[in-house]
């Protein structure tokens, strides 16, 4: 959509992370609209099968979730801006679903690629949980892991 290569090597001023917040098509649209995002791609991550198919993922037996890989320019946008969009574009308390989409492939997740991203993601989860608690909402179920393999859809 952005007209940029989906698999280009990262430049020195770029980072990547992978976000799961429901159906990947809708989630991707939110990320590609952010100024400073270089490219986005949909696929699967967080599972145990290499190069899973859509049908395999939908079976719930591979452990993957539908994700959006986001590459951004670090001088143009901060990771915290991506996290803000992530937490606010879906309900991270729903477990294995988002709205009418049900199954483990729709769970909420952030897969980081640097130690700093992991620290910031965990800190942001804690801050959002405090806000949710104050408003009477449930616990965040978001999976946060480092270095999960991304498989392009």
Name the residues annotated as catalytic: 23
Name the token pair of 69: 């890989």
Tokens (6 digits) for 52: 């899973």
Determine the straight-line distance between the first and last CA of the chain, rounded to whole angstroms: 15
Among all chains, which residue has been given the structure tokens 């179920």? 141
Distance from chain centroid for Cα 111: 7
Q: Which of 22, 37, 1, 33 is nearest to 87 (CA)?
A: 22
Using an 8 Å Cβ cutoff, are 110 and 18 in contact? yes
Q: How far is CA 19 from CA 25, 69, 123, 126, in A?
A: 12, 7, 16, 17
């Amino acid at each position: 959509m952005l007209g940029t290569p989906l698999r280009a090597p990262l430049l020195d001023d770029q980072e990547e992370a992978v976000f799961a917040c429901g159906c990947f098509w809708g989630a991707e649209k939110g990320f590609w609209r952010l100024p400073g995002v270089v490219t986005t791609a949909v696929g699967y991550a967080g599972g145990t099968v290499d190069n899973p198919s859509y049908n395999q993922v939908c079976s719930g037996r591979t452990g993957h979730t539908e994700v959006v890989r986001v590459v951004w320019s670090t001088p143009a946008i901060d990771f915290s801006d991506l996290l803000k969009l992530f937490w606010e574009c879906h309900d991270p308390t729903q477990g294995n679903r988002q709205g009418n989409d049900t199954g483990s492939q729709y769970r909420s997740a952030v897969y980081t690629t640097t130690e700093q991203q992991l620290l910031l993601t965990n800190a942001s989860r804690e801050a959002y949980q405090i806000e949710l608690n104050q408003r009477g909402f449930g616990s965040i179920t978001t999976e946060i892991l480092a270095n999960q393999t991304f498989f392009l859809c």
